[in-house]
């Protein structure tokens, strides 16, 4: 599995990250260990989750994914083989939200307990918190790093101006800097990352870890008509891509897949991995058989003609 350096941190990660949002949601707790074992054996040792996952499921309160991953690591003794990323800041209910120092210090203990570990390799601000001074948030992370509970920090769902402000706040106050950015970015969602966030990431050398790399499954090619959406957990989010542009992107993926003896999912991930500044594309799997698409994408190099075809088909529509 190819690896790249995680921003400016002395840590190499695979070019595909295993997304943990599915554990306890579309992958049951009983099925999760087999999938996690297979992923690790395939070289997918960078796992990204969040305290929020999967609070949106009826009857869940959040933390389900962390708990499943934690039980697996503890029962198998594989913690030292995993590069573990999680997040803080989204609304967990009962006032548990934001990036205040007090809340971060409480939330990290909850995550560590669920994950059954003494450290988090990459702890990420899940979203910006305009109500909390950036210096307060970053100082809280500094204390966690000094205690050995967190190794590196990252940001997700920030606007470009706020991300730049956070980086300058770190430098000005000699506080830890964000090493990574986790944006919503894929062939169907190229704005606002490319215009707003990519320049900031490049300026500060951030490692970029796009989420929804397969556009909630749309880029696998399995959703091509409204009928294909029936009965799927992500049907509502995928439906917005069933338009002229989306079908054009699928057609381009089909062409490139045919010419590379591959499939649309692998090609879509390979396109993302090939983009300037991208460190690792986050993608989930719900079955062991799907892991071959993630590992296959890591080994697929697209030529200039294929990249141009995909760039042209996915070009954002001018408003």
Residue 64 lies in a domain: yes
For the residues 278-304, what does the mean pLDDT come to? 97
Weakest mean pLDDT among 6-10, 212-216, 229-233, 264-268:
229-233
pLDDT of residue 228: 86
Residue 139 lies in a domain: yes
Q: How far apart are CA 171 and CA 183, in angstroms?
A: 22
Total number of domains in the chain: 1
234 falls in which pLDDT band (50, 70, 90)? Answer: low
230 falls in which pLDDT band (50, 70, 90)? Answer: confident
Between 236 and 25, name the one with better pLDDT: 25
Residue 168 lies in a domain: yes
For the residues 257-277, what does the mean pLDDT come to? 98
Between 132 and 318, name the one with better pLDDT: 132
**Does 158 qualify as catalytic in the annotation?**
no
> How many Cα atoms within 13 Å fall on the side-chain side of residue 262?
29
Q: What is the pLDDT of residues 240-249, one digit of tens each?
A: 999 999 999 9
Domain assignment of residue 175, given as a range: 13-182
Tokens 């949601």 label which residue?
25
Nearest Cα to 36, choosing from 3, 68, 2?
A: 68
Residue 63 lies in a domain: yes
Residue 153 lies in a domain: yes
For the residues 55-70, what does the mean pLDDT come to? 97
Secondary structure class of 250 (helix, strand, coil): helix
For the residues 91-104, what does the mean pLDDT come to? 97
DSSP 247-308: HHHHHHHHHHHHHTT--HHHHHHHHHHHSTTB--EEE--SSGGGHHHHHHHHT----HHHHH
Give the tokens for residue 143: 């204390």
Residue 305 lies in a domain: no
pLDDT of residue 317: 77
Give the tokens for residue 185: 């970015």
235 falls in which pLDDT band (50, 70, 90)? Answer: low
Residue 299 lies in a domain: no
pLDDT of residue 316: 87
The answer for 94, left when phi > 0, alpha when psi is -120 to 50, beta otherwise, is left
Q: How far apart are CA 80 and CA 69, in angstroms?
A: 13
Which 8-state DSSP code applies to residue 194?
I
What is the pLDDT of the chain when averaged over all its residues? 96
| pLDDT of 276 higher than 90 | yes
Q: Confirm if 288 and 38 have CB atoms less than 8 A apart.
A: yes
Q: What is the pLDDT of residues 165-179, one digit of tens each?
A: 999 999 999 999 999
CATH code of residue 109:
3.20.20.100
Give the tokens for residue 166: 């956070």
| pLDDT of 210 higher than 60 | yes
Which 8-state DSSP code applies to residue 58?
T
318 falls in which pLDDT band (50, 70, 90)? Answer: low
For the residues 291-306, what does the mean pLDDT come to? 97
| pLDDT of 148 higher than 70 | yes
| Cβ neighbours around 40 below 10 Å, total | 18
pLDDT of residue 237: 80
| pLDDT of 222 higher than 60 | yes
| pLDDT of 29 higher than 80 | yes
pLDDT of residue 233: 62
pLDDT of residue 280: 98
Residue 24 lies in a domain: yes
| pLDDT of 9 higher than 60 | yes
Which 8-state DSSP code applies to residue 229?
G
Catalytic-labelled residue, pool 53, 123, 141, 178: 53
Secondary structure class of 99 (helix, strand, coil): coil
């Amino acid at each position: 599995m190819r690896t790249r350096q995680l921003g400016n941190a002395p840590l190499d990660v695979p070019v595909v990250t295993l997304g943990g949002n599915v554990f306890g949601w579309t992958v049951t707790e009983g099925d999760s260990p087999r999938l996690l074992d297979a992923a690790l054996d395939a070289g997918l040792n960078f796992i990204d989750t969040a305290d929020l996952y999967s609070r949106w499921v009826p009857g869940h309160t959040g933390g389900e994914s962390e708990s499943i991953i934690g039980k697996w690591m503890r029962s198998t003794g594989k913690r030292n083989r995993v590069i573990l990323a999680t997040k803080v800041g989204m609304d967990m209910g009962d006032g548990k939200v934001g990036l205040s120092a007090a809340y971060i210090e409480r939330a990290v203990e909850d995550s560590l307990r669920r994950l059954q570990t003494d450290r988090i390799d990459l702890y990420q601000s899940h979203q910006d918190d305009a109500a909390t001074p950036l210096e307060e948030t970053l100082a809280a992370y500094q204390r966690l790093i000094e205690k050995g509970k967190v190794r590196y920090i990252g940001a997700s769902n920030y606007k470009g101006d706020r991300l730049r402000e956070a980086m300058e706040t770190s430098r000005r106050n000699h506080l830890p800097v964000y090493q990574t950015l986790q944006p919503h970015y894929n062939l169907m969602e190229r704005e606002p990352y490319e215009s707003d966030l990519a320049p900031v990431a490049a300026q500060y050398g951030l490692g970029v870890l796009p989420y929804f790399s397969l556009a909630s499954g749309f880029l696998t090619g399995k959703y091509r008509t409204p009928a294909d959406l029936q009965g799927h957990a992500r049907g509502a989010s995928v439906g917005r891509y069933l338009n002229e542009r989306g079908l054009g992107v699928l057609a381009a993926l089909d062409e490139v897949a045919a010419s590379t003896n591959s499939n649309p999912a692998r090609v879509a991930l390979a396109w993302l991995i090939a983009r300037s500044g991208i460190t690792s594309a986050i993608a989930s799997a719900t079955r062991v058989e799907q892991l071959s698409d993630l590992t296959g994408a890591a080994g697929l190099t697209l030529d200039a003609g294929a990249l141009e075809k995909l760039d042209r088909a996915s070009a954002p529509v001018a408003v």
